Amino acid sequence: MFRSLHMKLMLIILLLVTSLMAVVGAFLTTSVSSFYINTFYQQMSEMFSEDRRDFVVSLRSEAAQEDGAARIQEILDTNAGELGIDYRTRNYYILDGRTGAYLGGSADEDAMPREQTANLLTARNAVAQGNALLVGDQSDITADYMDVAIPILGGDNAFIIYILDNKDTVSDLNAQLLTIIMQALVIGLLISLLLSYLLSKTMVSPIEKLTAGAERVAAGDFDSELPVESTDEIGILTGTFNEMAGVLQETLAAVENERDKLDTLFLHMTDGVVAFNHEGQLIHCNPAATDMLHRSVDSTFTYGDFFEEVYPFREMLEMQRPNYKEAEITAGGKNLELYLAPFSDQADGGVLVVLHDVTEQHRNEERRKEFVANVSHELRTPLTNVRSYAETLRDANGDIPTDMANSFLDIIINETDRMTHIVQDLLTLSRLDSNQTELVLSRFAFAEAIGSVVRANAIAARNHSHTLTCGTLEDLPLIVGDRSRLEQVMMNIIGNAIKYTPDGGHIQVSAGSTETEVWMEVCDDGIGIPEKDRDRIFDRFYRVDKARSRESGGTGLGLSIARELVQRHDGTLALAPHEGPGTTVRLTLPIAGPAST
């Protein structure tokens, strides 16, 4: 309850008013008591001073008489008004100066203090010393009475006039004053309570609004602006808070925008990104990194689980930016290139690991080396044959029979043609790789293209005693593409089926369509393709049966060129599932043609 600023302000004001009234009350009661004491002693001093010498002389002359006590009492009764004797709160007593015995007075002896006061002792000392001027008039504000003792010496007689005031008047006045103060305190507290409530409400309400606004801002609500209701410090604070909320909203929006960009970048980038905090615990991992590491990457994954052997974590944290470390590892059959670097120079920084999959690069490098080796091998064999037969003809000096010489020349011509085909195929692949081959697109009948290619290969099939059949080509739609290039692909597929099927085999051509694409399949019962070679059958210079391929005049580039041309048409060329001996090759093309040439 008292933790509220509203209640604290009210409590402070109430305590302040209470403290102030308590101080005023104590001051007033003390002042009243001091005033009465001072008035009492001033009155006594005036009555027994030299200014009233006749009064004092008459007291001393009467004291010298035999019945001095009675005579003094008569004088005091006569001057009771000037002495303030009211016979209730203030009385006088006539005492024997030497023994202190009660001789008379305005009240009974029982009304006197039981013990002699300091003023009575002072007066008795004055009598003993014969000093009539030594008067007992010591005051004590803490005592519950006021008194004065005056020694009266007359001849051999000595008396003490003792005047005693029991402070009942002062006590009554203080009691009434205390009652007034308490009443004023109660009324003042009620008024202060109301005023403090209004004042604290005026001061706390803007602060409460600021608090509510801060809570909304903390919850992410930046749309509500606090009204500025005053021009004082709280109003300035409210205006500053509104400006701060606006700046904070813009800053958070910019941060959120940058974070979304980074999240999108990390989510879709092909490189893997893994981040660890200063304790080596995972704080970020994108899908690419999970795929590259070929393992589950969750909150339990740490730097030491995978990268500690590559480079120690503590040494990475101590590394100064922008230095970094490179390494290469193998994970899940993939070659990964790593870049490790600290992402902060602060004590609470961490380590960022970027993973780059170089498996394809390594594979391409191997293929490039293999391609160069294959090209060298494919060209070296015919060149060797051409050179050897040419040298034989040159060194024979006409001794070789004409038929043998012509046979040698035919071999030279065949080998030359073979090299020409290799070079032409390499140039075709080069133009396809560099996008220098433009497709001449037109709308044509897919069925007519298939029928034309089947008829063109009919003679070659009969030469090998093959049975070449073609299924129904009705209801095939028109397609958009480069007809000559696609017929080249079909020729290659059917030609390979004829070449690699033993004599007397069967070759079946079928075709069909869907709403968006057409397809053609060439199925044979030839030598087939082993499972281990199926993934590489479309690689350049790759042959399943190298010897037979060379005998048939193949370069090993036909299927590679065919696949490149089909891909340029946004289609696919692949091996289809096949039961029994032989192979089935499937060509699929979009009806609408390629998206771009």
Helix, strand, coil in percent for the chain, rounding step 5: 55, 15, 30
Average of pLDDT values for 339-361? 77
pLDDT for 52 beyond 70: yes
Q: What angle do CA 282, 286, 287 make, to 5 degrees?
A: 125
313 and 278 in contact (C-beta within 8 Å)? no
Question: Would the pLDDT of 523 be above 90?
Answer: yes
User: Which one of 304-318, 342-356, 475-489 scores highest in mean pLDDT?
Assistant: 475-489
The mean pLDDT of 382-394, rounded to a whole number, is: 77
Residue 272 has pLDDT above 50, yes or no: yes
Percent of the chain with pLDDT over 70: 88
Pairing of strands 467-470, 506-513: parallel
Structure tokens at 203: 């001061």
Max mean pLDDT range (54-68, 229-243, 500-514): 500-514
pLDDT 10s digits, 223-264 = 777 777 777 777 787 788 777 877 887 888 888 888 888 778
Express each pLDDT in 7-17 by its tens digit: 777 788 888 88
pLDDT class of 521 with cuts at 50, 70, 90: very high
Bridge-based pairing state of the strands 157-165 and 90-96: antiparallel
Query: CA dist 379 to 50, 257, 422, Å?
Result: 157, 59, 8
Mean pLDDT of 267-279: 80
What is the pLDDT, as a whole number, of residue 116? 78
Average pLDDT over residues 31-36: 82
Helix (H) or strand (E) holding 163: strand 157-165
* pLDDT given at position 327: 80
Mean pLDDT, residues 308-329: 77
**Per-residue pLDDT at 157 exceeds 80:** yes
Calpha distance 555→418 (Å, rounded)? 8
Q: What is the predicted pLDDT for the residue at 377?
A: 59
Tally of helices (H runs) and strands (E runs) in the chain: 16, 16
- Does 435 score more than 70 pLDDT? no
More confident call, 467 vs 154? 467
Q: Quick one: pLDDT at residue 485? A: 82
pLDDT digits (tens, 9 = 90+) for 87-100: 888 888 888 888 88
Q: Which residue type is seen at 14? A: L
Please state the rounded mean pLDDT for residues 329-348: 76
Can you give the pLDDT at residue 590? 92
Distance from C-alpha of 533 to C-alpha of 559, rounded to nearest angstrom: 14
For all residues of the chain together, what is the average pLDDT?
79
What is the pLDDT averaged over residues 184-197? Answer: 83
Predicted pLDDT of residue 370: 63
Confidence band for 346, pLDDT divided at 50, 70 and 90? low
pLDDT for 547: 44
Three state DSSP letters for 180-198 = HHHHHHHHHHHHHHHHHHH
In percent, the amount of the chain with pLDDT more than 90 equals 5
pLDDT of residue 99: 82
- pLDDT the model gives residue 355: 82
Binned at pLDDT 50, 70 and 90, residue 376 comes out as low
Indicate the pLDDT class of residue 543, thresholds 50, 70 and 90: low
CA distance 389 to 408: 6
Per-residue pLDDT band for 428 (boundaries 50, 70, 90) equals low
Q: Where are the alpha helices (DSSP H) in 397-527?
A: 402-433, 446-456, 458-463, 483-499
The token pair at 189 is 């507290």
The per-residue pLDDT for 422 is 67
What does the pLDDT read at residue 550? 47
Q: Is the pLDDT of residue 564 over 90?
A: no
